[in-house]
Structure 1
């Protein structure tokens, strides 16, 4: 497909906000809401995490039930104010945790899909699909959206993930991956849900953006055609995965980055911002640094999701796109072209070039 994909709407539920505008306002200020959990490390110290506290009474909710509530809330926000949509004709591309994730609930995809349908009292298109690639899931879904947009004017991409169940925390801590008093190079576990509605570039003429909790004249009078577009994607496979024996040379992330940058005339020189899903985990920090230096984008500004949210897994790529959407519409995006970079534990590496401005055919 030669046309770019337009990012039309977003919705988010995170530890710093229960909707997208609140979440990205907090992230713009570099706030976090990390709190101590009941899980203790080997020194008996509590592990901190980015935990979502819902408006509803979630004390009785199991880990999977909470993910369903978070996912439904993000999707509702994303579709808010669009009652004319026929949801039965919109494919849902659902992003979830890697199949090999320790502590991953059984039948995760089926339970989330069924729970979302019940919560929203609707059924999505038969072309709906699931992408179980952790952090990289959203980019894989965007890649599929290019083909799906040939037959569907709108596509909903939604992701939800949580590291905050005891089996996952225990397994990750045993592998020295969790940030704790006995491990200073691990990641802070988090949880989040995010949804984005995407479509053809001409869709922005009749679906107004929503990026604020307060509807203002500025929103309704925004220049027609101004929006966020996905203009390039790169997907690759890394054989040197975390916990493996192969040396960390960042080949997969480098290849994904170069493929995504091919969409730009000036390639790396046109990128003015990077948004990364990398956490403070030593392996991924090194891989990210190597890949960025090879692609000549290491001198550009860097925003990291984990600083505010911790590791959010399958929601991370969609949160990165939604942060770019919010910052562009709110007027604090430092560049018109930016690069999103994601890495999954099973070896998937993904990059996306996003551009904010007016679409010209």
Structure 2
């Protein structure tokens, strides 16, 4: 594959208003989760959530645009981009089938985002509405943009929020949210994250070596037996694209969120990929533990965390396998290697 390099992360999460604060909190095990003004109708009590303490009270697309603009602007400034309008922004958002998804998000997001950034977006900017796996698809789009010379840089960003009572009522009816009466559920969260992509290395960066995308038919809402074939397929594709074996990776970055489904899927896939003992610890990192379920923001957040840990010699090794999945069945995986520089 044509090499692409990740640098200059930006974030706005419940753990911190920028990438450094958010990543430092995650590495220290400091959670942004606390009791929120969200109601569990079954137990009659408030639930825990990871809310970003924004200074305003509006909701909907304006809130998402404010979150996204914060991460994008931070990344642009860290990279000292002279002309932000020359950088295509691929913004990942919730998939269309997500309960409570904002009806006007496609129509309004870029207008709201441009108003907050204070500049127009590049004509190649687009929304990637594929939830958690959307970041990997966005990386594929970014690779194509950089390969054909359409732009010298590209930005992959994500923004999402589960902190809406109507949305959570649907998930709670399906017993998907962690509440006093249900431990097999996720903690709702919200966040934005962004990373800058380039065709050449420029300072501390990650090289995205391989990408894989695909689909799982046995979704969390399906009656079909889960075998993890979709996740296995995308991991194999990412490793093949990178030209390495799974034994050449030292740890994993995932969107495990506390639900049994994703843990089961990952557990089913691992023995089919590992035919001998993995010499490294093969640690499993899951940022959602500290940030709550952040949906479409997870891939740029994971890349940002990997870069932060690598530059401080806190990662188990240079090469990480990341894999992610959306409720509707989309799956994505990447292999990223730290290329040096502190």
TM-score using structure 2 length = 0.93
Deviation of 1:33 (Å)? 2.1
Match of 1:174 in 2: 173
SS in 2 for 1:262: helix
Deviation of 1:40 (Å)? 2.5
Match of 1:165 in 2: 164
Q: Is contact 2:8–2:78 with CA below 8 Å preserved after alignment? A: no
Deviations 1:45-87 (A, max 9, x none): 2111111112x2x2x3113222111111111110115555222
**2:122 equivalent to 1:140:** no
Q: Is contact 1:277–1:343 with CA below 8 Å preserved after alignment? A: yes
Q: Is contact 2:106–2:127 with CA below 8 Å preserved after alignment? A: yes
**2:334 equivalent to 1:356:** no
Match of 1:109 in 2: 106
**2:230 equivalent to 1:231:** no
Structure 2 counterpart of 1:292, from 254, 262, 270: 270
Q: Is contact 1:63–1:165 with CA below 8 Å preserved after alignment? A: no
Show structure 2 runs of 5+ residues with no match. Answer: none
Q: Is contact 1:3–1:201 with CA below 8 Å preserved after alignment? A: no
Structure 2 counterpart of 1:74, from 56, 71, 74: 71
Cα separation, 2, equivalents of 1:40 and 1:51: 14
Cα separation, 2, equivalents of 1:81 and 1:34: 27
Match of 1:34 in 2: 33
Q: Is contact 2:215–2:329 with CA below 8 Å preserved after alignment? A: yes
Structure 2 counterpart of 1:343, from 321, 325, 329: 325
Deviation of 1:148 (Å)? 0.5
Cα separation, 1, equivalents of 2:81 and 2:18: 22
SS in 1 for 2:70: helix
SS in 2 for 1:327: helix
Counterparts of residues 22-61 of structure 1 (less than 5 Å): 22-41=21-40, 42-54=42-54, 56=55, 58=56, 60-61=57-58
Runs of 4+ in 1 over 3 A off after TM superposition: 81-84, 263-266
Cα separation, 2, equivalents of 1:147 and 1:91: 12
Counterparts of residues 2-41 of structure 1 (less than 5 Å): 2-41=1-40
SS in 2 for 1:80: helix
Deviation of 1:227 (Å)? 2.4
**2:107 equivalent to 1:125:** no
Match of 1:220 in 2: none
Q: Against the structure 1 CA distance between its residues 82 and 273, is the aligned structure 2 distance closer, same or farther, given a 3 Å change threshold?
A: closer
Counterparts of residues 307-346 of structure 1 (less than 5 Å): 307-346=289-328
Count of matched residue pairs? 334
Q: Against the structure 1 CA distance between its residues 84 and 335, is the aligned structure 2 distance closer, same or farther, given a 3 Å change threshold?
A: closer
RMSD of Structure 2 on Structure 1 (CA): 1.7
Q: Against the structure 1 CA distance between its residues 316 and 82, is the aligned structure 2 distance closer, same or farther, given a 3 Å change threshold?
A: closer
SS in 2 for 1:130: strand
**2:153 equivalent to 1:154:** yes
**2:300 equivalent to 1:304:** no
TM-score using structure 1 length = 0.89
Counterparts of residues 214-229 of structure 1 (less than 5 Å): 226-229=204-207
